[in-house]
Each structure stands twice: as C-alpha cells, then as structure tokens.
Amino acid sequence: MKVLKKIVLTLLVVLVLAMLGGYIYFDQKFTPEKNYLTVNNESGFIPFKWLGSEKNALLLPIHFSSDTITYYLQFDTGSPYTVFYSSSIKKIRQAIINKSLVKTSFYIGKTKITSDKFKIYNHGNDNNNDSLKIIGTIGADILENRKTIINFKENYIAINLSKVPSRFQSKLFDFKFKKRKIIVRGFLKGQEENFLFDSGTSSYELLTNKEVWKNLKLTNSKIDIEKSQSWDKVLTTYTANCNQKIQFDNHEIQLNNVTYVEGFSQVQYSMMKFSGMTGMLGNKIFLNNSLYIDCTQNKMGIE
C-alpha cells in the first residue's frame, strides 16, 4: 500500500510540474517584446480604405517625410508588432535596414510613429502596378497605453487621443489587454464567453472552433467554403448563417455568420485554449458600429 501511495504521489507531482511547465512555456511564448514605438501627437480623423469587395483588410494610409506617395499598412490587432514587408521597405529611402530590423518614422495623419526596431517580414515580390501600395502591417503596439477610435460606420480611425470622447463616457466597460491582445467578455446564448478582437480577420464576424460552429449555425444553412491566406499559411474557412446576439455590457451586437477554420497550427489552437477564448471577432461584426479602445485604462465603448 505504501508503494502504491508513493507511485500515486509521484504521478501527481509529475502532473503538476508538467502543467506548470506548460503554463510557463505558453506564457513566455506569447509574451511580446517591449513596445519600441514612439508615438507623438493626435492623428485627427483618418479615413481608411478596405481591400476587396468583401472588406478583406482594413488599410491605414501613411506618409514618410519628403515623400508624396501614400502607402498603406493593414491594421491588424491580432499582431503584437508593426511589421514592414521586406520587398517594399527596402525601396523606401527614409528606412534604414539593419538585418531583420528597420529604423524609420512615418505619419498617420498628424501622428508621428518612430522606432529603430520595426520588424521585417519576408513577403513576396513588390508589384509596382498595384494601385494601393501596401507595405506592411500596423499591429496592436500602436494601441498600447493609448486611446483609439475605430469608426466603422463612417470609415475613419483616430489614434493617440488625449481624452475620452464625451459620447463614449457613459458606454464604457472593462476589457483585457493581455500580451497585446484585446480580449472582450460577452454573453452568447446565455453563456459568458471571452472573445479576441482581431481586425486582421476582417471579413469574418466570428471565427471559432468546429464544435462551437456546429452549435451556433442555423440547421439548414448553406455553407460557404473558401481558402484564404494568413501570413505564410493557406487556411480553409467554413462559414454558415447564424441568428444569435452577443451582449457586451449594455450593448447588443447581432451575429449573422459564424466561421470555423482548418489550417491553424497546433500552437495556435493551444494558444486559444490556453487563453480561454471562444473565438475571434473580425471587423465585419462591427460594421454598423464605432469602437473606442482605451488601453490606458482597459476600457472599451461601443456605439
């Protein structure tokens, strides 16, 4: 009996250590580096553009000093960093490249963004015939310790605000800005859930796993199957009609479509489980709304 107790105790210790080790591993793996951006001045209201008829990406216009060309960065709150594409940034004379990092500054409206540690992503060949010169991604580092409005109704963004807009002051509720991820609590089918707001999944309302997808989709809904590119991976999406509502504090949002994805890596699935998230909310679910995101106080407003 004593031997059996020792075996059970040993197994429990190993299990606890494995769980602790797993927590430390994922905690470190998804902890972003220090925010290296310097951000000065309020931007004012900056009109943004959509890529594609399905609004596949939200594009922010940027300018470099002494350059009359308008470039664009995809706005992706799912990325913890602002990144430039290698094939594009090497053609910008205001950019100094040092191995995998870029030193430069650019403007979004009146806001000046500077860093000597912008990251570079190897991204195909630049096409000089493109009408929109998309040269990278602006990530959630632009939101950290700052106040931002994303007005989907009127197609503009305002960053680095100095104060809370008066129209949002009575609409604020808490959210988590954890490891540069926007995690919002909401109620779906009477259950409290955590959602990641990922503006990079622009043309989807809710991306989730297959089990949740089956539970939410309408029984006789047509299923749209598409292949899409996410960084260097090809993903297959399955989208079905849905008739649910998500309650965010005192604001209710209609959920008309739900999507699940095949092609995510095991690490990405593990991150979802590790963080306790039900799924990712894309831009599409908020197209009739304006969002205020305050990463100084971790407060959000929906109008």
pTM: 0.86
Can you name the residues that pair with 57 across neighbouring β-strands?
A: 51
Q: Which of 112, 123, 115, 129 is nearest to 39 (CA)?
A: 112
Domain ranges of the chain: 38-147, 165-302
Report the pLDDT averaged over residues 272-300. Answer: 90
- Give me 137's structure tokens: 């991604």
DSSP secondary structure letter of residue 201:
S
Q: Report the CATH superfamily, name and number, of domain 165-302.
A: Acid Proteases (2.40.70.10)
Q: Which fold has domain 38-147?
A: Cathepsin D, subunit A; domain 1 (2.40.70)
Residue 24: the pLDDT is 39
pLDDT at 17 over 70: no
Single out the residue of 275, 280, 276, 298 nearest to residue 172, CA to CA: 298
Higher-scoring residue by pLDDT: 155, 2: 155
For residue 169, give the amino acid letter: Q
Class of residue 275 by CB neighbours under 10 A (exposed 0-12, middle 13-18, buried 19+): middle
Q: How much is the pLDDT for 25?
A: 38
pLDDT at position 234 is 80
Average pLDDT value for residue range 239-267: 89
Q: What tens digit of pLDDT does each residue of 133-161 get?
A: 999 999 999 999 999 999 999 999 999 99
- The domains spanning 38-147 and 165-302 adopt the same CATH topology: yes
Instruction: Categorize the per-residue pLDDT at 98 as very low, low, confident or very high, splitting at 50, 70 and 90.
Output: very high
The pLDDT tens digits of the residues spanning 34-71 come to 999 999 999 999 999 999 889 999 999 999 999 999 99
**Residue 175: partners with Cβ closer than 8 Å, 6 or more residues away:** 182, 183, 184, 185, 293, 298, 299, 300
β partners of residue 181: 178
Answer yes or no: is pLDDT of 125 > 60. no
pLDDT score recorded for residue 160: 98
Is 90 exceeded by the pLDDT of residue 269?
A: no
Q: Computed over its alpha carbons, how large is the radius of gyration of the chain?
A: 21
Q: What torsion do the CA atoms of 207, 210, 213, 218 make, to the nearest 10 degrees?
A: 140
